[in-house]
Structure 1
Amino acid sequence: MNEKTLIKLEYPKIIEQLKNHASSVGGKRLCENLKPMTSLEQINRAQEETSCAFTRLVKKGNPSFYGLIPVDGSLKRLEIGGTLGSGELLNIQKLLRITGQVKSYGRQEQNDDTQDLLNELFDQLMPLTPLSTEIARCILSEDEISDEASPTLKHIRIAMQRLNDKIHSTLTQLVNGRYRTYLQDPIITMRGDRYCIPVKAEYKNQVPGMVHDQSSTGSTLFIEPMTIVNLNNELKELYAKENDEIQVILATLSASTGEYVPEIRRNYHVLCELDFIFAKGSLSLEENASKPLFNTQGIIHIRSGRHPLLDQKTVVPITVTLGEDFNLLIITGPNTGGKTVSLKTIGLFTLMGQSGLHIPALDRSKLCIFKNVFADIGDEQSIEQSLSTFSSHMTNIVSFLDEANRDSLVLFDELGAGTDPTEGAALAISILDHLFQKQVRCVATTHYSELKVYAMSTPGIENASCEFDVETLRPTYRLLIGIPGKSNAFAIASKLGLSDNIIEKAREQLSSQDESFEDLLTDLDASRKELEQDREEIKRYKNEISSLKNSVEKEKEKLRQEKERKIREATEEAREILSSAKAEADEIVKTLRKMGSAPVTMADVERERERLRKKMSGLQDKNASLQSKPAKAHKPEEFKLGESVKVLSLNVKGHVIAPPDRKGLVQVQMGIIKSKFPIGDLEIIDEEPLYLKKSREQKGNQKMKMGKSFQIRPEINLLGKTVDEAISSLDKYLDDAYLAHLPSVRVVHGKGTGALRKGVHEYLKRQNYIKSFRLGEFGEGDSGVTIVEFK
């Protein structure tokens, strides 16, 4: 890929953004070395890796690679049998700890049935937990070895502690006793690795011992009393033994680590690779980017692309196509209108996409794989080389004109500028025609009207323009394909206050052909704006119609629910009245029997009870007539085992578990509830019968789940709910999960005060279709979740 083009299109700035998302030295180095690729297979793999990282970041957040330090030098010393220092061993232990964390991150994704390209890298990681644990146990920090590193070291340090205590005790007695008047200060100090006391110079003969140092003034001598010389010597010997034992421990740890040099080296390189890939995913997430679709047919279709180096909140997206109906695009428009940004966006997106990076554009944007991208952008005037603007442009163009072919993308900014307009326009047309004949994909910006005419009159070449609002004298930065741009010089000058006389004289200088062409462009622009307004108005009408339709549907549903509610209320009220009346009648009969009143016979009583019974039956029949009726009458033989039905009186769904009996009652399973209903209260619904689902499951070796299992998640989240709300939600969820034949589910209730967990467990104990339940283990959510298994 042309290095000069990478700089012109500001590709290094994208790489700098990418580096900021990497945590490790190795990951940043991979970012720095990232270059556009030309192999479709490599590009697609790199893009898929970025997509996988993007998905994991959204689901799980970013895995931590912080603290990953290069260990190549240490590993090379281990390969030749060398011994590592405590700091180097700690770096390796940190690498293994990060390996374990990243491995766990990848494993949790696999538990969610996530299989992607990154699993190959996660599977290569080997945390070497026993080795990591041993290093951490022995080495507390770069300057501290644990007492528990070996029994010998522990024994030595205990002896050192006891000897230190003895020395301090002896010196304390001397300092506070007979030597008190001879001391500068009653303290114990160290000189070298020997314990001393500060003695006034005039009393040095009064304190027998070895002089190790004196103060800057010479008034104080630091003397090691003879009574502790032997103790200090013993302490020094223990220090030497401690150091020797530490070397033995480091040698042992180094030897153990040396057995896993290949695994540790692979861990480091895989972690750097993952850090690099997740940096790409993180950049994609930050820019709200998407994966482009690649082709080798020279087709570019960028949908609402945003230049990644501009403020994403204010940048105006552009939509541009190239390579389908036309191979050459000429963009015109006023200065500062966005022509160069559009040009750079096309080129930079191509480089980013071929580097495996997502592009900040809408999904399903298309890019072509180019072996080379050439760009002539910006003013390269060079005083040192005596090159004018035009000369510098021509030098750059000549350098790649013959090299460009149908596998190249060529970008020109202000082609032919910097010289006589007539000659510059003619030269620009000639260059573009040369590339067009070679079937090179090319995009050029210009001010020349001759190039607009050339694009309009040549099949396979298309005009485009950057829209400009004459009323506000500001560009809109919208790229309009198929419409040549106007210079708007007269309109801008008039708005800025230039005299109308001067503008009219300027118009007279234009040829009639030029004036007609400008008028045509004005008419085209006016027609375009009118069409856009009509399109927006149609879109608005469609949205209003859709909104009204949704409102009507919601209102219909609301009315249906209200009707069903009133029917249910009326039904319940009627049942209560009938029950009350029957109870009252029974009570009267009982009372009359007890009283044994002569005027009232048992026949009269029975007739009264029969009358009440008939009244209640009539009300029940009337009540039933208010309920929903099946859409069509069903025959008893239609109610097969497993048939999906709707119980009209309860407005719930279930399935047949027993055919109609002699009384015409059908047994229906609704969740965990079984009940019998008359045929007239049931309606067969258009769903696959349960026995067909089971048959299909058996034929698929029980690998396919029931249709509903695809809709039931294996987890319910009860966080933030009261116990009553949670139990209500859990009851319906467990019914659905049990019917979907899920083997087990995960109930998230959090830790908190434990009230919600206790309520959930009390409820689960009462359910006879629950086989068992337990709190989650490490990695499953600990005591914040409960794992439920069905029978």
Structure 2
Amino acid sequence: MEKLAIEAHEETLELLEWHILCKHLSSFASTVKGRNYCLSLPVLSNISTCRLLLEETKEIDFLDQDIEGGLSFHGVHDISHVLALCRKGGIASGEELLAIAETLGSVRNLRRQIDNAELRPTLTDRLINLVTHPQLERTLKRGLEHGGRVSDQASSDLAAFRKQIQCLRKERSDLISELLKSYGNLLNDNVVSERNGRPVVAVKIGAAAQFPGLVLDSSSSGNTLFMEPKGTIQLTNEISELEVRTFKEEQRLLGLWSREIANNADSLEDLIEIFMQFDVALARARYSRFLGGLPPDLKENAEAPFVLRGFRHPLLIWKQKREEAQPVVPITVDVSSNLRVVAITGPNTGGKTVTLKSIGLAVLMARSGLFLPCKGPPILPCFTSVFADIGDDQSLQQNLSTFSGHIRRICRILQILSHQPGIFLVLLDEIGAGTDPSEGSALAMSLLRTLADKARLTIATTHFGELKALKYFDARFENASVAFNGETLTPTYQLQWGIPGRSNALNIASRLGCPAEVITHAQELLNSKSEGEVNIVIKGLEEQRKRQHEAAENAALLLARTELLHEQLLNHWQKQSKKSAEIKENERRKLSASIQKGQQEVRRLIRQLRNTDASGETARVVGQRLRRIEAEHVEKVNEKISPGWRPEIGERIRLLALGKPGEILDISEDGLHLTVRCGVLRSKVNLHAVESLDGRKPNLTEQVVVVKTPLTLSRANEIKTSKNTVDVRGLRVHEAEVVVEEFMRKSTGPIWIMHGIGSGKLKHGLRHWLDSVPYVERVTDASKEDGGGACSIVWPK
């Protein structure tokens, strides 16, 4: 049975074109080992492991975006073959050992960047007890030069041998240069070449006896002899001997280092394996970001709902972005806990098979640690296995499409479901097709009822009208359809939930030129079977859905216009308030200047009275002038004082008893008592005991109206429920803003936003944005039992 399940799983991956997605994913990996792993990315069934992979993807995605230029795996090589060679007692080359040293240096740098238990607990857990071998890295980098050559620093003997070789080669070069000058007339050219590793010169065929040396070779024409000068023979022999000793010393050092690698092979393999997984996690994060994906919420409960809002097929997204294909039409899948079977109907080329593959790939991606390209947070049970029977012309390879092939595949799926426990998703394309329609329809209905008992969810595409009626006899069944534009004869690729689809065969045939009498007769035959009435009902449902959609769009447009008008009014009010404040400030300045001018004149008049030369007439004139100044300024002040002043919370006032200014902290419900802070003193005073700073008295005759909200209503709105809670964990700030704003438009009271703690960026970003939203009164942390700092409560105005 296990072998049967493995075969069915591999076949499902092939049918869903999982290998193409893996190929796309591998292009985001940084290392050869990571790319090879991504090409055959495993699909896991354990929910704990799946959640762990998703957390790794999320954590490394945040880190990659925080680092300028992103996380780099440059210098990390695939050293598996070197470790295997050293384990067997072989000697690695200098270039291979240098690759190990570079890998150790790179992973140690990556470890420093990743290691943070507070921000990245999942990734950091993998680094516990990890050994990066810094001493081995230093030894190899000290002993090897660029290109893998053993350095002179690695051994004093090696340095001495190489120095001797250098001196002998220089001596030999000088000797050959002298010979070329002395015997230039005997040579064909002055070029020194090599034969069998020994230096030779080109001597003319007739001058060989005159040149001191040994003949080692001749040219193809026979006109030139290549002779080794006699004086260099001993030098060359000494050089060859030293080169042998140098090679042996290099091999000794390489062997020593290779044995050191072999002794630490286990820890090195663990090290490379962990950082290969980090590279794969980074590839998942970058690919998910490329798709615009959101982290899925995997539920352990098999009865959990299956929600994909605005999901786009990942392979079609790749074509859109890399091959400039048409934009991808998203689909929405919302399967409640009680549903077991969804029958998708509609015309050919409408997108039924693409919908099946989209749903299957979404489940596989979530189980492999990938984010899903959705508009809203995806929620789905952690399916143990996905089995598919899809045979169509859209696959890259030819699949079984005959009736017998379909039945063999479905029977194998039923056999696995009967003998293995788990949470299963079954995808069936054109169930019951390929045989007599009446028998095929009956068989399809029986198969779907059986699968409803055995699998968590079965999604099947069909053209059989009888399957559309199963929903009305069994609550576990639901209908869906792909939309089709009958006027343009083109599919819209949109998935309509709850409405069965029509084949539109007669409409398409009529528009393609089929004779009218044929269409009329076919319609009569259809009506005689009562299928025409069903199509009329379906058409009515489609029109009703269209009207509802148009009404929703109009309502959204009206809401947008209302918000725009509100923003315009708010801006106008702010401008008016600013202008009014400027006018008041100008008036205050004029009044202040007038008072100052009056004070100056009063002081001048007083100085006149104090003058010893002042007479009674002077005193009389001064008195008249003082009375005129008093009358003028009392009139100006009275013009500025409004008789209807009423204090407000936060306003600065003057306490009449103390003669000092204070600030209003609170006002009683009847408006007759104020809580005032004056310096460090806080007291409760009557309304008539204060005045405004510009001298206005409170209006005590105005009736204060107090509106009280029933306690039961206000408390009901302050209780956290699933309807007033939105989960934005895993989203970026701008994505979370869209989700929260949409949620706030539909809410009438406070809402709870689950953003988690993490690095705090999401919380701070949302708080900063909410502070700028005009219809938000305040934002507070939730109580401890409702999530504390991981949850924010938004109170609308």
Asked if Structure 1 and Structure 2 have the same fold, meaning a TM-score greater than 0.5 normalized by the shorter chain, the answer is yes
Q: Distance in 1 between matches of 2:360 and 2:75?
A: 36
CA deviation string 1:637-667 (max 9, x = no partner): 99xxxx999xxxxxxxxxx997489xxxxxx
Q: 1:70 aligns with which of 69, 78, 81?
A: 78
1:474 aligns with 2:490: yes
The 1:258–1:439 alpha-carbon spacing in structure 2 relative to 1, beyond 3 Å, is closer
Partner residue of 2:20?
13
Q: Distance in 2 between matches of 1:130 and 1:573?
A: 82
Aligned-pair Cα RMSD in Å: 4.4
Counterpart residue identity of residue 456, structure 1: Y
State how 1:31-110 maps to structure 2 within 5 Å.
Answer: 31-60=38-67, 62-66=70-74, 68-76=76-84, 78=86, 83-107=91-115, 110=116
Contact in 1 for aligned 2:44/2:50 (Cα 8 Å): yes
Shift of 1:284: 0.9
Shift of 1:267: 1.8
Q: 1:429 aligns with which of 418, 442, 445?
A: 445
Q: 2:125 aligns with which of 120, 124, 142?
A: 120
1:300 aligns with 2:300: no
Contact in 1 for aligned 2:93/2:148 (Cα 8 Å): no
Contact in 2 for aligned 1:100/1:126 (Cα 8 Å): no
1:225 aligns with 2:225: no
The 1:31–1:625 alpha-carbon spacing in structure 2 relative to 1, beyond 3 Å, is farther
Partner residue of 1:215?
219
How many positions carry a matched residue from both structures?
636
3-state secondary structure, aligned to 2:496: strand
The 1:409–1:256 alpha-carbon spacing in structure 2 relative to 1, beyond 3 Å, is closer
Partner residue of 1:463?
479
Contact in 2 for aligned 1:102/1:122 (Cα 8 Å): no
3-state secondary structure, aligned to 2:191: coil
3-state secondary structure, aligned to 2:314: coil
Q: Distance in 2 between matches of 1:143 and 1:433?
A: 68
CA deviation string 1:275-309 (max 9, x = no partner): 11112112211111122222232432221111112
Q: Distance in 2 between matches of 1:188 and 1:628?
A: 110
Shift of 1:228: 3.1
Q: Distance in 2 between matches of 1:47 and 1:615?
A: 82
Contact in 1 for aligned 2:26/2:39 (Cα 8 Å): yes
State how 1:287-366 maps to structure 2 within 5 Å.
Answer: 287-295=291-299, 296-298=301-303, 299-311=305-317, 314-366=327-379
1:554 aligns with 2:571: yes
Q: 1:269 aligns with which of 248, 269, 273?
A: 273
The 1:85–1:536 alpha-carbon spacing in structure 2 relative to 1, beyond 3 Å, is same
Contact in 1 for aligned 2:391/2:401 (Cα 8 Å): no
The 1:242–1:38 alpha-carbon spacing in structure 2 relative to 1, beyond 3 Å, is closer
The 1:625–1:167 alpha-carbon spacing in structure 2 relative to 1, beyond 3 Å, is farther
CA deviation string 1:495-523 (max 9, x = no partner): 33333333222222221622222222222
CA deviation string 1:137-170 (max 9, x = no partner): 3322345333444444334333333333332222
User: Could you tell which deviates more after superposition, 232-241 or 45-54?
Assistant: 232-241
State how 1:395-414 maps to structure 2 within 5 Å.
Answer: 395-404=408-417, 407-414=423-430
The 1:543–1:191 alpha-carbon spacing in structure 2 relative to 1, beyond 3 Å, is same
1:524 aligns with 2:524: no
Shift of 1:562: 4.0
1:184 aligns with 2:192: no
The 1:463–1:680 alpha-carbon spacing in structure 2 relative to 1, beyond 3 Å, is same
3-state secondary structure, aligned to 2:73: coil
Q: Distance in 2 between matches of 1:657 and 1:149?
A: 82
Contact in 2 for aligned 1:209/1:226 (Cα 8 Å): yes
CA deviation string 1:650-697 (max 9, x = no partner): xxxxxx997489xxxxxxxxxxxxxxxx9969xxxxxxxxxxxxxxxx
3-state secondary structure, aligned to 1:476: strand
3-state secondary structure, aligned to 2:530: helix
Q: TM-score, normalised by structure 1?
A: 0.70
1:495 aligns with 2:486: no
Q: TM-score, normalised by structure 2?
A: 0.70
1:160 aligns with 2:165: yes
Shift of 1:617: 11
Q: Distance in 2 between matches of 1:448 and 1:235?
A: 89
State how 1:654-669 maps to structure 2 within 5 Å.
Answer: 659=680
CA deviation string 1:696-723 (max 9, x = no partner): xxxxxxxxxxxxxxxxxxxxxxxxxxxx
Q: Distance in 1 between matches of 2:410 and 2:459?
A: 14
Q: Distance in 2 between matches of 1:207 and 1:570?
A: 118
Shift of 1:89: 0.8
Q: Distance in 2 between matches of 1:630 and 1:532?
A: 47
The 1:419–1:24 alpha-carbon spacing in structure 2 relative to 1, beyond 3 Å, is same
3-state secondary structure, aligned to 2:577: helix
The 1:337–1:76 alpha-carbon spacing in structure 2 relative to 1, beyond 3 Å, is closer
The 1:569–1:279 alpha-carbon spacing in structure 2 relative to 1, beyond 3 Å, is farther
Counterpart residue identity of residue 508, structure 2: I
Counterpart residue identity of residue 53, structure 1: I
Partner residue of 1:173?
178
3-state secondary structure, aligned to 1:185: strand
Contact in 2 for aligned 1:379/1:389 (Cα 8 Å): no
The 1:172–1:617 alpha-carbon spacing in structure 2 relative to 1, beyond 3 Å, is farther
The 1:487–1:131 alpha-carbon spacing in structure 2 relative to 1, beyond 3 Å, is same
Shift of 1:366: 1.7
Shift of 1:124: 5.5
Q: Distance in 2 between matches of 1:226 and 1:644?
A: 114
CA deviation string 1:537-565 (max 9, x = no partner): 11211121122222222332333344445
3-state secondary structure, aligned to 1:540: helix
Q: Distance in 1 between matches of 2:220 and 2:483?
A: 83
CA deviation string 1:741-776 (max 9, x = no partner): xxxxxxxxxxxxxxxxxxxxxxxxxxxxxxxxxxxx
1:372 aligns with 2:385: yes
Q: Distance in 2 between matches of 1:619 and 1:156?
A: 112
Shift of 1:393: 1.9
Q: Distance in 1 between matches of 2:284 and 2:521?
A: 58
